[in-house]
Structures are given as structure tokens and as C-alpha cells.
Amino acid sequence: MRGLFVNHNQPKCSIYECGLTFYRCLDSLNLGYYETSSEDFPEGYDYYVINYHYSATRYWSPAYIQSLPGKKISYLLETGQQNPYLLCPEVFDAYCIPDPTMREDPPVFVFPRPLSQYSLPLYEQNPFPIIGSFGFASEFKQIEDIAKQASKEFEISVLSLHFPSDPPYGDHSDERIGELSRSLPTNVSLKVSQSYLPKEDLIRWCSQNTVNVFWYAHDHEGLSSAATDAVSSGRPILVNGARTFRHIHKYLPYFPNIGIREAIGLGEEAVAQMRADWSPDRNLMSFQSVLQYVGMAL
């Protein structure tokens, strides 16, 4: 059975990067790989595995997907909570949902989060905690609140931020960094990197932080890819109660139930368990169940 993995072709996009990670988890199946931002999928395949996203891949119309020969399998990075069809047309034969909190009900199959596997440098112990966070330079990230909490818990700490200035991420990053610089407590230092980092380098950056912290003010349906990338680094993590972190809540109490210092103590073991549960091997096992369901198993 010949299969083709289809990803969109816009680097510097988390959907694109996650598509690559999905594909690498399936490496032993010898799938073809194709990137495109138009309706020009190659023919001659028995099944298509499509990294679909309601916004990033909106140029792939439901009618076109339905017209493809063979079976159509989607990877859906963002869904509604317990509703896989909220952000996706019902034109696929099976749905691979990397949300471990969802209920499995074929054609909906629940997958582990796809963790990137890279060789990481050894963590270098610092004399004071390095508290990392990254992503869009948005106010909903609650960076000021993270800094205030760090000020309460530690005599000295460093808030290390990665806010890329490159489009489409950096429309307001300089302005936001200026706001943060003026508002930080006196015992919290600010360290900012703004050059875009490929995913491997970003995870390496996370691996040198004492703890990676994400507190979101919005109530987003999809799961946080930033938090998943931080888990790939192996360093402790602390999130708040936003449902975008529901995949983390199973493993570790969230702020304000625990603080930053406690997360440093508990987080390494919790992250190690997530990395075991969300391994590429487990993703492959889940996908083999999908192939059997659609009649494409060897």
C-alpha cells in the first residue's frame, strides 16, 4: 500500500513544524512526503495522510480532499475539547487527534502528543533560576505575572524570553519587550532573544532553562504546541489552568496550585513521564491502528 504524507509549505509555522514531527514518527512506514499550498496532490497513492488545519491549510477545500482517490486520513493539531469536528470538515476516513485527553471513538483515534527527538546538550546548572518562556509577544502570555511570582519566590532570577522579531511573529515584539523592561521587579533580570530559531534550536534553548513557564489568559480550544516543545527539552515545566494545557494537567499540578520553585522540584519527573508516554513509537502504534481501520494495513 502506497501512502503520501501531505504538509503545507510555510516554514516558520508551528503547524508546518508539527507536520514534520508527525511524519518523522511514521518513518518506518516509508510514506512519501509532499509539501504544497495548492490543490495539486500527486496521484497514484492508496491513501493520503494530510496535516490539516482550519486556518493554515484553508486553501485545501473539503471538496478537493473528498475528490482524492483512496483513503484520506487527517492529522488534526487543533480541535474542540471532546469535539474533533469543530475545526475540521467531515471528509476524512479517519482522524488522528494528538490530544491524549480526548475520547477515542473511530473514525476518531486519539494519539500521544508528537514530541521531537533531538540530541540535547547537558543542562548547565546556574547560580540562580533561569525562567524561560517563548512564542508570540502577546499580552495574554501573562509574562508580567510570571515575573512577579519569580520575584516573590527567589531573591534573584532571570526571565529568559524568546520573542522572534521576524514576521509573522514579531509585529509588536519590540514594543512588548519595552513594556516588560519597564515593569519588571528589581530582583528579576530580563534576557531576550529575537532571532527566529528553527524548532531544533528552540528546543535546545528550552533545555538550558531551569524551568519553562507558560501562563495563558485566553481559553483556546487547541492544545499548546509551545508547551509540547518545552516538554521535548526535558526541563521542568509549569503551566496555569488554561484548557490549552489540559494535556499537561494530567501529569503536573498547575499554577496557582503550585509555584515556580515547586514546579522545578516536581517537573523533571513529570516531564520524563510525558516524554515516555508521547514517544514516536507510541505514535506509530496508534497510526497502525488507523491503517487497520481504513483497510490499509500491510
Backbone angles phi, psi at 210, to 5 degrees: -65, -40
pLDDT of residue 274: 96
Contact residues for 258 (Cβ-Cβ < 8 A; gap 6+): 238, 252, 266
pLDDT of residue 166: 62
pLDDT bracket for residue 116 (50, 70, 90): confident
- 176: region left, alpha or beta (phi > 0 left; psi from -120 to 50 alpha): alpha
- For the record, the C-alpha cell of 223 comes out as 492544545
pLDDT in tens, 166-225: 655 545 677 778 888 888 999 999 999 888 888 899 999 999 999 999 999 977 777 888
pLDDT in tens, 58-87: 999 999 999 999 999 999 988 877 788 877
CATH number belonging to the domain at 3-112+279-293, selected among 3.90.75, 1.10.287, 3.40.50, 3.30.1420:
3.40.50
The count of other CB atoms within 10 Å of the CB of residue 151 is 17
Greatest CA separation for the chain: 63
Q: Residue 40: is its pLDDT beyond 80?
A: yes
Higher pLDDT, 285 or 117: 285
Structural domain spans, the chain: 3-112+279-293, 130-277
pLDDT of residue 17: 87
pLDDT in tens, 125-164: 999 999 999 987 777 889 999 999 999 999 999 999 998 8
pLDDT of residue 72: 97
Rg (CA), the chain: 20
What distances in angstroms separate CA 297 from CA 24, 110, 113, 292, one per listed residue? 19, 18, 23, 5
d(CA 123, CA 149): 24
Poorest-pLDDT segment among 6-15, 145-154, 277-286:
6-15
- For the record, the C-alpha cell of 181 comes out as 523592561
Q: Identify the three-state secondary structure at position 290.
A: helix
Please tell me if the domain spanning 3-112+279-293 has the same topology as the one spanning 130-277. Answer: yes
Helix 14-25 with 225-232: angle, nearest 10 deg: 50
CATH level 3 topology of 130-277: Rossmann fold (3.40.50)
